[in-house]
Amino acid sequence: MALQATPHLFEKPDPDWPYFMTLLLAMSGWINILILLYVSFSFAPKFLAARRILAAAILVCMVSTWTFFVVEGIFPLIGHFLWIGGALLILAPEVSLLKRKTSTEKRQIPLVS
């Protein structure tokens, strides 16, 4: 249903359905596609910047999904929580690498000549 909302982003808005809701619904449908792109970029270190951009986009899409749920008064079932948990497990190495890099940068002592 969410991916079906994507083409409606480019049409004349429906007065009975706000454009904002269509945008939220479409963004929630892009999470799986972005996760697949993220995983495909994870095999080469040269795609670090692209992975970080995709990770941020995935998190934005997750927030849009939850916003849609709140506005529509929908309570997700267990499958949604497992789906989000799996996506966060896929993104976890990116966050841990980011924290590890910043902690090692703080420990470096500059050489004075």
pLDDT along the chain (113 residues), means of 10: 54 67 84 93 90 93 92 92 94 74 55 53
Range of the domain at 10: 3-102
* Tokens describing residue 2: 């969410």
pLDDT for position 77: 93
pLDDT for position 33: 92
* Tokens describing residue 32: 């799986």
Domain contains 111: no
pLDDT for position 112: 56
Helix/strand/coil for 15: coil
The total number of structural domains in the chain stands at: 1
Q: Which residues contact 37 (CB under 8 A, 6 or more apart)?
A: 54
Domain contains 76: yes
pLDDT for position 96: 74
Domain contains 28: yes
Domain contains 112: no
Q: Which residues of 51-83 are buried (b: 16+ CB within 10 A; e: fewer)?
A: bbebbebbeebbebbeebeeeeeeeeeeeeeeb
Domain contains 68: yes
